């Protein structure tokens, strides 16, 4: 930063990044850890130390997983679940962004709604499942509403903070150059909110999955939640845990998607090369 000498304009290539990762010890530590834990767990199962009625082990769960896929049960359950997950997120994301922006930018609106927003943020949403079921029913609408309640909170709160934390010196720059309010949103406020929004979306996706399973357990049982619960009730633990594995994979995939969005929208952030 100190000198006026031209800074390196080059950007690290993907090839180089790959090499860096292969050289890192982190990846080996993780692989060894996985081998020990999963391998140990499997060994316990193979040697008869796990009672298949109360618990299961990796190879049995994998077999059950493929059986459920092959029989089409997993796919139809996942399809059922994904409907409330997607519907919930499609409502929660735009609604959360709009509410967060309005709260961050308009003081009167903030004072009017902040009590409810922060009260709901602090409330365990599970406790709302029954009142929601009473009012909206136990089917699609009720379940989607649960997902919305789970997912929307981190979006509202993050977007609100993003709008609030706009760099005041840059706000003065926009004023100094005679920017209009709409230009100010385009040049300053939206770009400042993006990192907060992306972090909020990451949290929202995780919470939406929780909301989905909660809704499927507590309301009319359906989807992956129901599939898992039915088999566990029948003491077929290997099949009962297979949908949980799928949920885990979906959770990881959603997090990855959010991470990719994050890198895409923050190409201007230069990683510190120390």
Interface residues toward another protein, by CB under 8 A: 1-9, 169-170, 172-173, 175-180, 183, 187-188, 191, 267-270
Q: Which residue's CB is nearer to another protein, number 5 or number 127?
A: 5
For residues 196 and 258, is the Cβ–Cβ distance under 8 A? no
CA 240 – CA 232 distance, rounded (Å): 5
Smallest distance from another protein to CB 264, Å: 12
For residues 137 and 145, is the Cβ–Cβ distance under 8 A? no
Smallest distance from another protein to CB 190, Å: 10
Q: How many CA within 13 A on the CB side of residue 274? A: 1
Smallest distance from another protein to CB 159, Å: 17
In 3-state terms the chain splits into helix, strand, coil percentages (rounded to 5) of 80, 0, 20
Smallest distance from another protein to CB 265, Å: 9
Smallest distance from another protein to CB 179, Å: 5
Smallest distance from another protein to CB 1, Å: 5
What does the block give as tokens for 153?
């909170």
Q: Which residue's CB is nearer to another protein, number 8 or number 22?
A: 8
Q: Which residue's CB is nearer to another protein, number 42 or number 187?
A: 187
Question: Comparing C-alpha atoms, which of 123, 101, 103 is closest to residue 113?
Answer: 103
Give the ranges where 106-236 is alpha helix by DSSP (H): 107-122, 129-136, 140-164, 168-176, 181-184, 190-218, 223-233
Q: Which residue's CB is nearer to another protein, number 69 or number 166?
A: 166
For residues 199 and 211, is the Cβ–Cβ distance under 8 A? no
Q: Which residue's CB is nearer to another protein, number 53 or number 178?
A: 178
Q: Which residue's CB is nearer to another protein, number 11 or number 122?
A: 11
What does the block give as tokens for 258?
């959010």
């Amino acid at each position: 930063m100190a000198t006026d000498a031209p800074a390196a304009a080059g950007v690290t290539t993907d090839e180089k990044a790959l090499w860096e990762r292969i050289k890192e010890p982190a990846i080996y530590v993780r692989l060894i850890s996985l081998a020990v834990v999963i391998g140990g767990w499997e060994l316990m199962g193979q040697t008869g130390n796990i009672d298949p009625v109360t618990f299961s082990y990796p190879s049995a769960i994998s077999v059950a997983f493929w059986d459920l896929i092959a029989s089409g049960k997993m796919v139809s359950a996942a399809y059922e679940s994904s409907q409330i997950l997607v519907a919930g997120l499609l409502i929660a994301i735009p609604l959360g962004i709009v509410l967060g922006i309005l709260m961050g930018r308009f003081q009167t609106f903030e004072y009017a709604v902040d009590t409810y927003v922060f009260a709901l943020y602090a409330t365990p949403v599970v406790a709302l499942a029954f009142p929601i079921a009473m009012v909206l029913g136990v089917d699609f609408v009720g379940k989607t509403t649960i997902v919305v309640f789970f997912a929307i909170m981190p979006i509202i709160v993050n977007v609100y903070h993003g709008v609030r934390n706009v760099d005041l010196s840059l706000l003065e720059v926009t004023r100094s150059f005679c920017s209009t309010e709409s230009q100010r949103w385009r040049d300053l406020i939206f770009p400042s909110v993006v990192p907060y929004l992306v972090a909020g979306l990451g949290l929202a996706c995780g919470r939406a999955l929780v909301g989905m399973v909660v809704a499927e357990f507590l309301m009319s049982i359906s989807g992956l939640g129901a599939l898992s619960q039915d088999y566990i009730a029948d003491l077929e633990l290997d099949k009962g845990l297979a949908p949980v594995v799928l949920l885990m994979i979906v959770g990881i995939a959603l997090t990855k998607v959010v991470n990719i969005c994050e890198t895409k929208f923050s190409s201007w952030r230069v990683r510190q090369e120390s």
